[in-house]
Structure 1
């Protein structure tokens, strides 16, 4: 807490204790909570260990325990984005190791994981595994396998891996015939299997099909699988069996909103549960996502999004009623339940992502692990430097409304000159089918504590606002998203909150594309940063991984039939229109947006004398996980803006 009057200094030149060193030293990522026999597990991503992901078990009053030993990295590259790389059953851990893609088993209390699948051989990519469950009666792992051994496009299937094997077999195919699979779930009696499947050009938030099949005594699919929900124009998310095995619950957007539904096996019919204009689902970019869980035979605990903020509730399935729980959190993920106990990843604008345990009897909660404990270190006083968040709605093109989260500058040690407005950094989320998170992000306060305002835009195409809002981006990528980012900035200018002459835009992946498109096709921003962003839409259609290889059909149009439209939307082919400073960040192992995308744009801009920065990081894929690289990226982007756009002193 400052003891002197704040100094007057130009916005953007304030000195802040929220440094890149502090951020990377303190922060981890938390994901994928699991409950097993009363124990709570979660996955930690550790930048300080070169991004290694570790399964951790809650200490139950003592110290938390790392379950997976060094050097194992619990991560899968199925769909490249992964998720669902591990599962715990009766204390035994089953996981995919990132280095070799193999499945491993680690006995309870064990120290040496044992391989269940073969090593990759030769130059092939081998096999990748995700989204597994255990079929205890048949002693096997059931999950999604992505086969890279034949070259060309990998083959996806649902397979069974014998747990009695010694790592010699990659599993037997149970279900194939579609481009993609997820969510295999075994009925409580082990006689039925459900799963999701979809085909090119759909993504899972565009159209998926929910299948049900009988299993014979040996565990093979018997007869023709039955379609019980979904199709090419309906998105199904997270199918689950009821505890008695008489029904299947799932989330569908057939009403325009991702709502809960119940399919009764007795009647072979589905009915909605509490139809509402809110979202009970989310885009399935990764495996293992969970927005609801059974907390008894006739009760589920769920999380739902309304106007971009999430809440936690309990649904009485017999009465079709929803009771919303009062919590301090505005973001939830990975919801699991066991009777009166619920665990989830939760966060809020002033609370970091945390593993949280909720008691349904008392409505109390307990934080088990935080992504950062920096706010607990009172000697640092970091809480005093956190900007509050304001959910904003603003008018945009076509008479529509768009949304965002606004963070004004805050630093108790400084104030800006009366004659000056702060610079604005417009932050563009990836996906583009994703959403801005309301969880505390020190990377945002890195900017606001230096006197730079931030607008995190939920442009048309973002999730959390219904399917019609998502569909605004259909064939309009590079138009609607750009318009909404520009109009968000104009909205703040009209409110007198920011300086129109010091506006920058930044984004990663799809957000990097929007950044480059905004700089090339609109004369509004004075600079920007592309983090592993797309510059040539046609090259992305030709040269990306299987999961997204036809996503561009929906975002722009059919390729190569509409190649001219791709060229029209690609910043690379309009580099002469991009005269503002840009800095680029790229991982050299990125299979989603390969380095040649960034390097072609860098070369085009440099040849025209445009101010350009370029940092290529060795050993990084799509998104940076290593502490040194995260630190360097933050500082380099600030340095670049300070020199090329803001005209301020350095404030590290």
Structure 2
């Protein structure tokens, strides 16, 4: 990309700086990268393309040389199991099996052939995810989500014949509310899997099960070998010599364990997180190089690291890397391939050569070259919060090599509350963050209590306290920066999507710290969410707020829609019209209530969008609308040419 010629910085108010990091730049060339797989010398991954309406396509890199697309349009490699998907494809011996978004059927794509369906047409009522190959029996073992009845969808583990299965799969395991991670031992004689029941989410409590696989493919002697209602198990994995490994948070931290001869052995106890919240299928934080050598990613203080563990000797060493966000690890005896991010680099698929220690990007989310003079590096901060506790965030001060603010002016601050709420923000480069900082707006990206990456106790701070702890931490983080003299206390904004949108709405309704806010498909009515959302999250709020309907009073107390009269700051709402997780009715109700109160407010809807915007034009419109909104509220004029939005009670 082009950059401005060096010159004496221009003195201009914060928020008015001209930046080369435009909304068009963000959506025009960047792609999403996820779901890595190795097959011999070939490497596979998913690319999500905003320029193609958010379509997910499968890419193969042959032996480190030629990249080719396996699933041309209109194929869209996404599964709707749990609505958040993941684990949408499997590759074995050059043949790919994948879920297609529109019909949710499984397809087989043999070498250089047109993909052919192997499950029946059901109008997307049978959905599949997280498959593993059972080569001896020519079948896939995977999670199936069955919407064919009028009741709650039924989750099972099924076997689907590779050459076509008109029945949509034969049931192997049933009885639990949810399943994930079916994993077959190298010799094909044992199957491990995860299961859990309402009201637990997988980071609350899961069970690790094991069974023998008979010659006819049926399972025998199923038994629980680890986990329970208060222990979260993550990523069961067989070593090449048939040892069952997994991650558990039984110590208060997600650490590595091995099950051997009926005994569970801790492999490397550490005050660090080797697991992640299982919002999607197929997440992997460790991989085997040899039967006894594991290469793994772990989190400390919000930063990801790589480590190498010898499971026989216990020897451990950290692998120095330039990356601070690391996920989706795949390895063989020669290489590790993973998804990586760094504070000053675009996200990428990266290969680590085990012999030489060299890191080589295989594919970057963008080929743009951005002058570091426009990049703000996040500063990890820990700040005091309610009840004498501490919370965590990344602070991004304004940075633009071409501008300085007038003497004495402090920057406005945008506080970002991440989604989930059981999730975490990372230290990796985000152009959406840089969009703000390069225009002279500081950003505080908060890992409030309830976020992952800081141990189970920190994660459980949100239990029964959603809408309180997260809001307190966002407010206290902003106040901390004001007290430090780093930002303008009269120009504090808050923004978030989904659960982060709920935090935003609660902050505006129940606190008076922020002067404006933006909710991206945020929850305004907690009771409506408990009643209307999909199965995976249908009991999520039991733990975050209280059992429903028994504690209906708490849901009313925590729902901003009932307290719109308390909102004293302008509000922008952005909503996808096909969102089944947070339906449009919630944003509509909030908009009408705030408008009736006479506050400046705007409501933008996006056709064809679900929970999270994927289309380039909509991502661009939403981001620019948010900047325009803040400019109108705080009286600054962005340098960007932005199509106006109608702001009720202001225009």
Fold equivalence (TM over 0.5): yes
The answer to whether the 8 Å contact 2:42/2:64 transfers is no
Q: Deviation digits for residues 228-252 of structure 1, max 9, x if unmatched?
A: 100000000000112111x210000
Residues paired across the two proteins, number: 638
Provide the TM-score with structure 2 as the length reference.
Answer: 0.97
**Match of 1:458?**
447
Displacement of 1:140 in angstroms is 0.4
**Match of 1:213?**
211
Tell me, in whole angstroms, the C-alpha distance in 1 between the residues paired with 2:141 and 2:212.
Answer: 15
Tell me, in whole angstroms, the C-alpha distance in 2 between the residues paired with 1:651 and 1:163.
Answer: 53
Tell me, in whole angstroms, the C-alpha distance in 1 between the residues paired with 2:234 and 2:634.
Answer: 44
In structure 2, relative to structure 1, the CA distance for the partners of 1:649 and 1:90 (3 Å cut) is closer
Of 620, 633, 636, 2:609 maps to 620
Other structure's SS at 2:290 match: coil
**Match of 1:238?**
235
In structure 2, relative to structure 1, the CA distance for the partners of 1:238 and 1:61 (3 Å cut) is closer
RMSD across aligned positions (CA)? 1.0
Tell me, in whole angstroms, the C-alpha distance in 2 between the residues paired with 1:387 and 1:26.
Answer: 21
Q: Deviation digits for residues 297-344 of structure 1, max 9, x if unmatched?
A: 110110000000000111111111221111110110100100021000
Tell me, in whole angstroms, the C-alpha distance in 1 between the residues paired with 2:12 and 2:599.
Answer: 30
Of 51, 56, 59, 1:56 maps to 59
The answer to whether the 8 Å contact 1:158/1:176 transfers is yes
**Match of 2:106?**
103
Further displaced range: 177-186 or 607-616 = 607-616
Of 364, 368, 376, 1:387 maps to 376
**Match of 1:21?**
24
**Match of 2:115?**
113
**Match of 1:420?**
409
**Match of 1:148?**
147
Tell me, in whole angstroms, the C-alpha distance in 1 between the residues paired with 2:397 and 2:313.
Answer: 44
Tell me, in whole angstroms, the C-alpha distance in 2 between the residues paired with 1:594 and 1:237.
Answer: 30
- Superposition pairs of residues 166-205 of structure 1, within 5 angstroms: 167-205=165-203
The answer to whether the 8 Å contact 1:2/1:413 transfers is no
The answer to whether the 8 Å contact 1:642/1:650 transfers is no
**Structure 2: segments with no counterpart, 5+ residues:** 642-651
Further displaced range: 169-178 or 315-324 = 315-324
Tell me, in whole angstroms, the C-alpha distance in 1 between the residues paired with 2:64 and 2:223.
Answer: 47
**Match of 2:330?**
336
**Match of 1:87?**
90
Tell me, in whole angstroms, the C-alpha distance in 1 between the residues paired with 2:638 and 2:20.
Answer: 16
Q: Deviation digits for residues 413-437 of structure 1, max 9, x if unmatched?
A: 1100112100000001000000011
Other structure's SS at 1:145 match: strand
**Match of 1:253?**
249
In structure 2, relative to structure 1, the CA distance for the partners of 1:296 and 1:649 (3 Å cut) is closer
Other structure's SS at 1:64 match: strand
Match status 1:285 vs 2:284: no
In structure 2, relative to structure 1, the CA distance for the partners of 1:384 and 1:60 (3 Å cut) is farther
**Match of 1:642?**
631
Tell me, in whole angstroms, the C-alpha distance in 1 between the residues paired with 2:483 and 2:255.
Answer: 37
The answer to whether the 8 Å contact 1:462/1:469 transfers is yes
- Superposition pairs of residues 268-283 of structure 1, within 5 angstroms: 268-283=262-277
Displacement of 1:646 in angstroms is 4.9
**Match of 1:229?**
226
Displacement of 1:651 in angstroms is 3.5
Q: Deviation digits for residues 108-148 of structure 1, max 9, x if unmatched?
A: 222x1110111124xxx510100001101101011000000
Displacement of 1:382 in angstroms is 3.5
The answer to whether the 8 Å contact 1:502/1:646 transfers is no
The answer to whether the 8 Å contact 1:435/1:464 transfers is yes
Displacement of 1:439 in angstroms is 1.4
**Match of 1:378?**
none
In structure 2, relative to structure 1, the CA distance for the partners of 1:570 and 1:15 (3 Å cut) is same
Tell me, in whole angstroms, the C-alpha distance in 2 between the residues paired with 1:164 and 1:340.
Answer: 32
Q: Deviation digits for residues 165-223 of structure 1, max 9, x if unmatched?
A: 2x522101100000000000011111111000000000000000000011111111113
Other structure's SS at 1:484 match: helix
Of 497, 500, 508, 1:519 maps to 508
- Runs of 4+ in structure 1 deviating by more than 4 angstroms, as ranges, are none
- Superposition pairs of residues 174-573 of structure 1, within 5 angstroms: 174-223=172-221, 225-245=222-242, 247-264=243-260, 267-375=261-369, 381-573=370-562
Match status 1:577 vs 2:566: yes
Other structure's SS at 2:466 match: coil
Tell me, in whole angstroms, the C-alpha distance in 2 between the residues paired with 1:36 and 1:151.
Answer: 40
Other structure's SS at 1:347 match: strand
Tell me, in whole angstroms, the C-alpha distance in 2 between the residues paired with 1:58 and 1:444.
Answer: 31
Further displaced range: 61-70 or 525-534 = 61-70
**Match of 2:44?**
41
Displacement of 1:61 in angstroms is 5.2
Other structure's SS at 1:369 match: strand
Other structure's SS at 1:603 match: helix
Other structure's SS at 1:586 match: strand
